[in-house]
């Protein structure tokens, strides 16, 4: 993970849908950003802050139901804390429907203050 080598999107809100290689029973989500020490500006205001994670069997088109009528499920919302370790894992135990999913949507609702862009350096999906 090096400064600038990230998935950046304009503004403080954005989303990405990740197609998994197979259906997965999810157990956790990990999000990573760089540290203040690694940042050329000495800040990490481009880091995501409030994040929601959704899953579905088919790709989503927004609004809770995808183009083929498959519902997406909100799994968890969490806050990525820039004062903690740069790689943070958020467990999903006891929040999942008892089935495997093919798609994960990461919805970034806000960042830590950068008005121009938000950066995500790594997202990991854990499961079986």
pTM of the model: 0.84
Q: What is the dihedral of CA 58, 61, 62, 67, to 10 degrees?
A: -70
pLDDT at 95 over 70: no
The structural domains of the chain, with segments of one domain joined by +, span 7-61+69-127
Question: What percent of the chain stands above pLDDT 90?
Answer: 58
The superfamily CATH assigns to domain 7-61+69-127 is Galactose-binding domain-like (2.60.120.260)
Residue % of the chain over a pLDDT of 70 = 85
Q: What is the pLDDT of residue 93?
A: 72
Mean pLDDT, rounded, for 23-38:
92
């Amino acid at each position: 993970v090096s400064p600038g080598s990230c998935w950046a999107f304009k503004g403080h809100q954005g989303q990405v849908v990740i197609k998994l290689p197979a259906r997965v029973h999810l157990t956790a989500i990990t999000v990573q950003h760089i540290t203040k020490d690694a940042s050329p500006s000495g800040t990490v205001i481009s880091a995501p802050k409030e994040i929601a994670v959704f899953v579905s069997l088919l790709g989503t088109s927004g609004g809770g139901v995808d183009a083929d009528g498959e519902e997406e499920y909100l799994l968890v919302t969490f806050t990525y804390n820039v004062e903690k370790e740069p790689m943070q894992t958020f467990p999903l135990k006891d929040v999942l429907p008892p089935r495997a999913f093919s798609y994960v949507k990461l919805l970034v609702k806000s960042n830590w203050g950068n008005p121009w862009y938000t950066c995500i350096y790594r997202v990991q999906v854990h499961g079986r």
